[in-house]
Amino acid sequence: MKKLNALIDRIAARKTALVGRDFLLTWQKSRPELEQILDLAEALRLLRARNLDTRCFASGLAVSQFRDNSTRTRFSFASAANLLGLAVQDLDEGKSQIAHGETLRETAVMISFLADAIGIRDDMYLGAGHEYMAEVAQALDDAVTAGVLPQRPVVVNLQCDRDHPTQSMADLQHLVREFGSLEALRGKRLAMTWAYSPSYGKPLSVPQGIIGLMTRLGMDVVLAHPEGYGLIPEIVALAGRQAQENGGSFTQVTSMGEAFADADIVYPKSWAPYAVMGRRTELLRARDHAGLQALEQECLAQNAHHRNWECTDALMATTRDGKGLYLHCLPADISGVSCEQGEVTAPVFDRFRDPLYRQAGCKPYVIAAMILAGRCADPGVVLRELVRRARPRTAG
Amino acid sequence: MKKLNALIDRIAARKTALVGRDFLLTWQKSRPELEQILDLAEALRLLRARNLDTRCFASGLAVSQFRDNSTRTRFSFASAANLLGLAVQDLDEGKSQIAHGETLRETAVMISFLADAIGIRDDMYLGAGHEYMAEVAQALDDAVTAGVLPQRPVVVNLQCDRDHPTQSMADLQHLVREFGSLEALRGKRLAMTWAYSPSYGKPLSVPQGIIGLMTRLGMDVVLAHPEGYGLIPEIVALAGRQAQENGGSFTQVTSMGEAFADADIVYPKSWAPYAVMGRRTELLRARDHAGLQALEQECLAQNAHHRNWECTDALMATTRDGKGLYLHCLPADISGVSCEQGEVTAPVFDRFRDPLYRQAGCKPYVIAAMILAGRCADPGVVLRELVRRARPRTAG
Amino acid sequence: MKKLNALIDRIAARKTALVGRDFLLTWQKSRPELEQILDLAEALRLLRARNLDTRCFASGLAVSQFRDNSTRTRFSFASAANLLGLAVQDLDEGKSQIAHGETLRETAVMISFLADAIGIRDDMYLGAGHEYMAEVAQALDDAVTAGVLPQRPVVVNLQCDRDHPTQSMADLQHLVREFGSLEALRGKRLAMTWAYSPSYGKPLSVPQGIIGLMTRLGMDVVLAHPEGYGLIPEIVALAGRQAQENGGSFTQVTSMGEAFADADIVYPKSWAPYAVMGRRTELLRARDHAGLQALEQECLAQNAHHRNWECTDALMATTRDGKGLYLHCLPADISGVSCEQGEVTAPVFDRFRDPLYRQAGCKPYVIAAMILAGRCADPGVVLRELVRRARPRTAG
């Protein structure tokens, strides 16, 4: 309880400009704001672990819009909403009148009359996902200014073409819990590396989110990928600048082995070649199915040249004292389990299964923290009230 | 707060027979009953605007069944349910055993054991939507009589072939808020007119709902449409009788220009020719896809003769002092935005965007009012209790 | 109120090992445990009938996974969750990343971080449904042991290849309410018989669930079906053993007439031939559509030999004093209503419509009881608290 109260004191004392703002890209947030999200997530986790009712809303909708498939983010969003007292309402474009020619601006308002949060996943089109969310956010701002909406729902990016902040912040909460504190991460070496997968078209948002966030913490971030698998150049440049400003480093290497050497943390994960994602976006827009299939074949053939980018026990042995922490956003392509050969061998994955699941378990709290911070001017007061009233979550 | 308390006093004093009854057609309701719905909707809106918890149900389901696509009514229903404390459970016919040969009577009971409200949209078949809802209602009555159901859920028509009462009542709440009172609408001229759209098969329920409701308020209602685009004759006749009984007028003209002249309110909106809707119903039932496509082509060709039925700035200038209020149920077919040429020009739409969104924002409260009135014998007592306990909706 | 308090006293006094355990098969539960579920279900029903708030959870998810269509079980699960204060979150495999190669073990954890209950329907594959649920349960156990999950959600079988415990327990609650007590069922004759249906592939779980449960209550259970329509042999053997141990009987006959003679309760229902279900499982796995169609034709032809297995007034007249109680899990294939010829004639069905609907109305409470018992160490204390605080479910 002492730990929880200290956490709440820290939250109450911190000045941020999170309220009334969306959570779209971690690099739009200040360091204290990121710390606030982490502290709020941890406080909510502790409250729930003490079986305390965490609801801050008596009613209100949390709207989700998944423009791509999702299990864990979908359940994390639903869990976060439920934790705060909000009801999930999914915007299923197939069942809506959006195809009917309705503008995004209009849809954004129509779903928001009684909404406190809108979570959006839009990661299929390079150069479009973030823009979509920004357009929703602008429409909501306009509607609030015009007196059309009684409240401004906070927009939470559940993965776009640029960033995956609920993932990277959950990863960071996991690291804080594993290493003891945010400060303890300073000087740690994190290897964000490409890995082979017999699939194609995986978004770039996870590696971009990781290098875009972890370079702000004084870590030594290493990015590795085969030639042609680069990320959005602006975000790579951003990572470099941030590392410099925050006393860490950002380097790029061309093999998994170089990246893993003495790493404290490794994050081997497949993604699509940047150029392919760009061409894919054009083909998707043109609904060119034959073109998409041809591109897929080409890309799979290209991938196949890099089958040796696999996270193995031998590689893990080269990490710091052979004890590097393995991260993955899941689901992983596990060799011999979910595919013939993939991102990681079964022994490595099995050894890290529990920490991986704990990593995934951070996401509901991180999303709840983003919603709470975006909607409540003084979350410290809210948390103190939850502690004071001390209502049990479950009876009996 | 004074305004809210006066409203609640008025609600508490009014005698209605809304409790235990469904809300299927506005013309089945008395004038005081319609006023009660408007007052309840406004009271709920004010409560929420004061950040008060509006939940009247600790638990209970609000079942939705959308037999046609929907965004705003779906979200309005979900918002209304959430506002009152009910959880939405969607009846998705594709995932149910209804195709399995189950009778409607049985399904109605099976979804209702713990339900407080059932919202249904069924607007595809002329001569079938209202009947469907009435059959559900009858099954529920029988089940209550037989002691099978512990409570009688209220059925709310979310659009049928005859009426769209959550739309027309939301439109009316919007008019009351724009003109100051229900009484202020007396003598006002409202033009319900057809408008061109490059699509086909839009239901007749909105224009029918508008002439079926607004002719009861002492308004001068004008209906305009091209030849062959008439509405269900019985409802047109009803509108005439109602206008006579309530001291207004109901006239029909054959051009948008005639209808708009000196109008206080204009509602230009596309709908399908009545005869086409009848033939379409038969083809849908026969699953005659070729027939449906041929009909669509024929109908689009017919529509194309009336491209000049477009709401323009020039036409808006002919309304009362050039200040007529533009209404639409949304989404509108906006020329140059959602289609090449449509119901309304972009400048007109843009000028009325904010009031249109406010119009749409009335629907959640109107639906909540219908549910509350249908389930609570004394909603005035309920609202007073909400004011008395004064629990905040959001913490912090 | 006296009845309710006596019920709660009985619940509080009973020792069971239900907490922390799943509800997969009734035959895994002791007699006192089954009685506890029945008492809890009845207590929840009485609480709600007295308009008392029954929520025991302030927040938490109830996850549903329907791998086959469902209306009444889906709504029963949603109703049960809502009754207890949980929010339903559906795992729709089509919208998830499961097809992506994710292991079941992983999915089970990913959906459970804030879940209190997981309801699963998996009845398509003989020899697979129960195994699926057991694998989910094992994954959850492992995750709790590893400290990955903050709570262990209870898994509730919403129909597998072996048992349909929410159905059979709801049926039992119905019988207790019709006959007055569990003891009153001792010595009663129950005929579980096959019936003709012009469809194919209906699961065996209902008849198996009925003979697996009712043989434990001292009843005389008679199973009747045409040759080739046998159930899973192990479950038939189990029914025999249980009848012997509990002072009743279990017999098999080969005609509806023999089974119905002097029966107090009849349960005529179609199911697929056991051998067909086995072959169907193999074909489904091989995605052999042509094979499945051929099998369906063969099976329908086989079914057609047994059209006389129809529950008629003449047969009902042969039950005990002509007053036997007709049961069905619904929807029934009603001759002349939902099919040309089916399981039951319209006059029989119509006469029993109300009791059938009451039977179906037991399921939400039975599911809620299973969740409550699985999650609360002392449900008697929880119910006493609900009575003590006496919050109304609906205002006004």
Q: What share of chain C is helix, strand, coil (3-state, %, to 5)?
A: 50, 15, 35
User: Contact B395/A377, CB-based, under 8 Å?
Assistant: no
Average pLDDT over residues B249-256: 98
Task: Identify which of A147, A144, A156, A171 has the alpha carbon closest to the alpha carbon of residue A28.
Answer: A156
The C-alpha of B396 sits at a distance from chain A's nearest C-alpha, in angstroms, of 5
3-state SS, chain B, equals CHHHHHHHHHHHHCCCCCCCCCECCHHHCCHHHHHHHHHHHHHHHHHHHCCECCCCECCCEEEEEECCCCCHHHHHHHHHHHHHCCEEEECCHHHCCHHHCCCHHHHHHHCCCCEEEEEEECCCCCCCHHHHHHHHHHHHHHHHHCCCCCCCCEEEECCCCCCCHHHHHHHHHHHHHHHCCCHHHCCCEEEEEECCCCCCCCCCHHHHHHHHHHCCCCCEEEEECCCCCCCCHHHHHHHHHHHHHCCCEEEEECCHHHHHCCCCEEEEECCCCHHHHHHHHHHHHCCCHHHHHHHHHHHHHHHHCCCCCCECHHHHHCCHHHCCEECCCCCCCEECCCECCCCEEHHHHHHCHHHHHHHHCCHHHHHHHHHHHHHCCCHHHHHHHHHHHCCECECC
Determine the pLDDT at residue A101: 60
Cβ–Cβ contact B116 with C under 8 A = yes
CA distance A228 to A274: 7
Determine the pLDDT at residue B318: 98
When scoring C357, C365, C366 by the number of chain B Cβ atoms within 10 A, the one with the most, hence best to mutate, is C357
Q: Is A24 exposed, middle or buried (0-12, 13-18, 19+ CB in 10 A)?
A: buried
CA distance B337 to B356: 16
The C-alpha of B334 sits at a distance from chain A's nearest C-alpha, in angstroms, of 9
Determine the pLDDT at residue B98: 56
Report, as ranges of residue numbers, the positions in chain C whose pLDDT lies below 70: 94-101, 396
Give the lowest-confidence range in A12-16, A244-248, B69-73: B69-73
Residue A57, pLDDT > 70, answer yes
Contacts of A63 in chain B (CB under 8 A): 75
Determine the pLDDT at residue C184: 98
Contacts of A147 in chain B (CB under 8 A): 354, 358
Condensed to tens digits (0 to 9), the pLDDT of residues A222-276 reads: 999 999 999 999 999 999 999 999 999 999 999 999 999 999 999 999 999 888 8
CATH top class, domain C167-360: alpha beta
CA distance C72 to A381: 44
| Domain A167-360 in the same topology as domain A2-162+363-389 | yes
Task: Identify which of C75, C11, C140 has the alpha carbon closest to the alpha carbon of residue C363.
Answer: C75
Q: Taking CA atoms, what residue in C is nearest to B382?
A: C396
Residue A135 has which token pair? 């357009």
Cβ–Cβ contact B198 with A under 8 A = no
CATH top class, domain B2-162+362-389: alpha beta
The second-level CATH assignment, the architecture, of A2-162+363-389 is 3-Layer(aba) Sandwich (3.40)
User: Contact C101/A338, CB-based, under 8 Å?
Assistant: yes
Average pLDDT over residues A63-73: 89
Determine the pLDDT at residue C154: 98
Question: What ipTM, to 2 d.p.?
Answer: 0.95
Contacts of C357 in chain B (CB under 8 A): 106, 109-110, 143, 146, 148
Contacts of B55 in chain A (CB under 8 A): 58-59
CB contacts under 8 A, C 282-301 vs B, are none
Condensed to tens digits (0 to 9), the pLDDT of residues B322-369 reads: 999 999 999 999 999 989 999 999 999 999 999 999 999 999 999 999
Cβ–Cβ contact A74 with C under 8 A = yes
Determine the pLDDT at residue A125: 80
Residue A100, pLDDT > 60, answer no
Cβ–Cβ contact C153 with A under 8 A = no
Determine the pLDDT at residue A276: 85
When scoring A70, A74, A334, A341 by the number of chain C Cβ atoms within 10 A, the one with the most, hence best to mutate, is A74
Task: Identify which of B265, B335, B330, B277 has the alpha carbon closest to the alpha carbon of residue B307.
Answer: B335
Residue A30 has which token pair? 């200040």
Higher-confidence position of B9 and A279: B9
Residues listed for chain B: 396
Contacts of A381 in chain B (CB under 8 A): 395-396
Contacts of A152 in chain B (CB under 8 A): none
Determine the pLDDT at residue C199: 86
The C-alpha of A384 sits at a distance from chain B's nearest C-alpha, in angstroms, of 10
Residue written as token pair 């009917």: A100
Residue C76 has which token pair? 């029963």
The C-alpha of B7 sits at a distance from chain A's nearest C-alpha, in angstroms, of 20
Q: Taking CA atoms, what residue in B is nearest to A386?
A: B395
Closest CB to C376 among A48, A85, A395: A395
Contacts of C369 in chain A (CB under 8 A): none
Determine the pLDDT at residue B281: 85
Contacts of A113 in chain B (CB under 8 A): 75-76, 79, 360-361, 364
Structure pTM? 0.97
Average pLDDT over residues B262-278: 93
Q: Taking CA atoms, what residue in C is nearest to B58?
A: C393
User: Contact B110/C82, CB-based, under 8 Å?
Assistant: no
CB contacts under 8 A, C 326-385 vs B, are 330-331, 333, 337-339, 353-354, 357-358, 360-361, 364
Cα distance from N-terminal residue to C-terminal residue, chain A: 21
Half-sphere exposure of C346 (CA within 13 A, CB side): 8
Contacts of B269 in chain A (CB under 8 A): none
* Per-domain residue ranges of chain B: 2-162+362-389, 167-360
The chains found to touch A (3+ Cβ pairs under 8 angstroms) are B, C
Determine the pLDDT at residue B42: 98
Give the lowest-confidence range in A302-311, B100-109, C320-329: B100-109
CA distance A247 to C94: 45
